[in-house]
Structure 1
């Protein structure tokens, strides 16, 4: 299953300064379109003539932005909107007191009304598909049952433990902000810990490592399973290949559909998760190992169906080529990053597989993250 990067955990790459620092300088500007990554694009007027990726802003607003990263020699800078001079109609007061400039880095869109958050995510998916894959998508990012007003949906949560209490890191920083209550976490959310926990997606139970991966939105497993199976329409006796299979969520339901005459092969890089998939899905063939390496040496017979659920960087060409070599009639691609999805869809297109359907789901309200499920079939 896809592994979204932990909220607020991104670290800037170490780099050599390219001239005098501009950090702390302020500029008045009109905010441009939303960009992938939880920020909007601002183009400063000469003499600066620089692109700034600005958080805590909305398209069309007039703001005062403060530079948080950037030097004279950088192609672009990063910044925060620290004052809003003309607000968008979609701006709201952040429900969380820890959200905003120089505060907790976990949520990107607390200042945005929930319908507008989904509209921004829709715009990002469309832009990435158009720019990177030459595709037009007319769909909308959909709400998912399991949260109220975009809050209290996160079933697992990772705090930074300090001598002063619990905290979260600032955006692109190791600095910790003390947080006594995270509003997107459920009140019964648990922290990752060793051991085995049991998750239920009716009618099945799944054993999951307490510090392993499982979707954190309570509505995610059900909607993803229903969407993948609805797109693939697996038939009794068919063969299915489940790649980046995790603990076997999709494998279990594929196995139900193809029945005793069918076959499901699940490949997962994490050995613990792979072992658990064997327990969760009696009757599948589970193989632990890097997906590209396993496919290069094993299971080279044709498969009717493939499920791809790669990590954030996507499947990439080596895996896509191996999938196409198995000549599936249909591929369901589950993606937690629209840019990686678009790049892989472009690769599939060069190898004869076309996008037939795509749905987007708001599995991470208040953040910029979005989950997509795409259906591909052979051209012609």
Structure 2
């Protein structure tokens, strides 16, 4: 049994709708709540409590369905051609306003189920301006690509090692589209990372090699990029990138602050995300961040929030900026080397907080990866009792779980904002203000 006719139920975390077949839950991608569809099952292991599947035919469509914005990610087109869709635009068949309503529903459901909080949440559009804003396209300043066996640029199918060659990527900023990678011979390359700063600074292309290449082939790789972009390579076994052309980093700007980010470093991928998140975080903790204050930026990345916090506390204050990734932490250290009030520490957040348990902070910015902060970090922050925590999250489930632990400790959720920083996908960014009990 491969195909089922199913009536799709509510939206679920992870970009699925929930359907049922003979009592078993089926998580279905590429559909919309209420639709009657034919589903190709992709995961039917007998011991699982649920199955997974993709929509391959729409029998009764939703009024919020539209033609997909990107053919390789369109489930209907891909399966009709005997292929499978690439990941990265699983909401591309849904009208933008409905995408945001579905994302808000996911946040509400996770808050209710995991934190026992009932909250009326909306997901805000983050304006791009012009035609891109209307279409929800050309917002990605970072892209990661695979390479197929023929040396062509490709992307992975969802939850699969299958790679599918592509000829465009309309979610990417036009500076990435113009790099000419679609026509390049990438034989010997396993993965391609591209960064094109929203400021218009020089893009960076990093090739991770699948095998050792000679100097002639490396020189040829440096020339396959059609613009004046910088080019680096990473050896098959990993390690620091080797710069072949230009610089091994890009210059980013946000809120009037300047940052250096290498190919190893992390930066928000939506071209308006840094400013939008910075504004939301300062709105949350700004009243607690004054001249001379001690504050912390945890899971700080390249220091997006560290910079405005350092400016507010001034030389008489202090900012503890903690990041686990060695490469990203090095980026932050370069950016803030002339600011004595900034202490950049590389390491696991829970370990650093344990080592500095006696310190007290007026405010904390918490921006963990998808897995969330976790029970131990929440426990340490409750013990430290800052006057405010701005929690930035890219995963509503891990946020709701962590929020539940804060609430159990007597803290309160003052407000929460949802930001649509990933149009055409199920991903959501939230910013919340948490405060300790009186």
What TM-score do the two structures reach when normalised by structure 2? 0.78
Deviation at 1:171, TM superposition (A): 1.0
Q: Shift of the alpha carbon at 1:164?
A: 4.7
What is residue 49 of structure 1 aligned with on the other side?
23
Partner of residue 339 from structure 1, selected from 393, 397, 401: 397
**Residues in 1 aligned to 2:19 and 2:364: alpha-carbon distance in whole angstroms:** 41
Distance 1:368 1:137 in 2: 20
Paired residues of 1:242 and 1:264 also in contact (CA < 8 A)? yes
- The correspondence for 2:311, drawn from 240, 256, 279, is 256
- 1:135 and 2:123 are equivalent in the alignment: no
1:89 aligns with 2:63: yes
> Contact 2:265–2:331 at 8 Å: present in 1 too?
no
> Where does residue 170 of structure 1 map in the other structure?
157
Higher helix share: 2
**RMSD in angstroms over aligned alpha carbons?**
1.4
After TM superposition, the score normalised by the length of structure 1 is 0.90
Q: Distance in 1 between matches of 2:373 and 2:331?
A: 22
Counterpart pick for 1:324 among 359, 382, 385: 382
Q: Deviations for 1:336-357, whole angstroms, at most 9, x for unmatched residues?
A: 0000000000111122211101
Indicate yes or no: 2:12 matched with 1:35: yes
Q: Is the 8 A contact 2:250 2:261 kept in 1?
A: yes
SS of structure 2 residue aligned to 1:157? strand
Aligned to 1:182: 169
Paired residues of 1:242 and 1:265 also in contact (CA < 8 A): yes
- Tell me the SS of whatever aligns to 1:249: coil
Structure 1 match to 2:364: 306
Q: Quick one: distance in 1 between partners of 2:332 and 2:151?
A: 40
Work out whether residues 244 and 309 of structure 1, in 8 Å CA contact, stay in contact via their aligned partners in 2: yes
Once structures 1 and 2 are overlaid, which stretch shifts more, 154-163 or 89-98? 154-163
- Unaligned 5+ segments in structure 1 are 1-21
- Aligned-partner Cα distance in 1 for 2:172–2:415: 32
Q: Is the 8 A contact 1:39 1:108 kept in 2?
A: no
The structural deviation recorded for 1:177 is: 1.1
Whole-Å separation in 2 of the counterparts to 1:164 and 1:293 = 43
Deviation at 1:299, TM superposition (A): 5.1
Alignment of 1:263-274 (within 5 A): 263-274=318-329
After superposition, the C-alpha distances for 1:321-366 in whole angstroms (9 at most, x for unaligned) are 1112211000000000000000000111122211101001111111
CA distance in 2, matches of 1:357, 1:183: 34
5+ residue gaps, structure 2: 76-83, 177-193, 196-204, 207-240, 242-247
Kept in 1, the 8 Å contact 2:265–2:302? The answer is: no
Residues in 2 aligned to 1:118 and 1:255: alpha-carbon distance in whole angstroms: 34
Q: Does structure 2 conserve the Cα–Cα contact (< 8 Å) formed by 1:316 and 1:344?
A: yes
1:353 matched residue in structure 2: 411
Q: How many correspondences in the alignment?
A: 354
The match for 1:246 is: 301
Q: Per-residue CA shift, 1:238-293, capped at 9, x if unaligned? A: 21011011111111101111222221111111223223223323220111111111
Displacement of 1:135: 1.0
Cα distance in 1 for residues equivalent to 2:277 and 2:161: 33
Contact 2:255 2:278 in 1 (8 A): no
Instruction: Find the counterpart in structure 1 of residue 215 from structure 2.
Output: none
Aligned to 1:235: 290
* Higher mean C-alpha displacement, 312-321 vs 260-269: 260-269
C-alpha displacement of 1:232: 0.6
- Structure number with greater CO (CA < 8 Å, separation at least 6) is 1
In the alignment, which residue of structure 1 is the partner of 2:218?
none
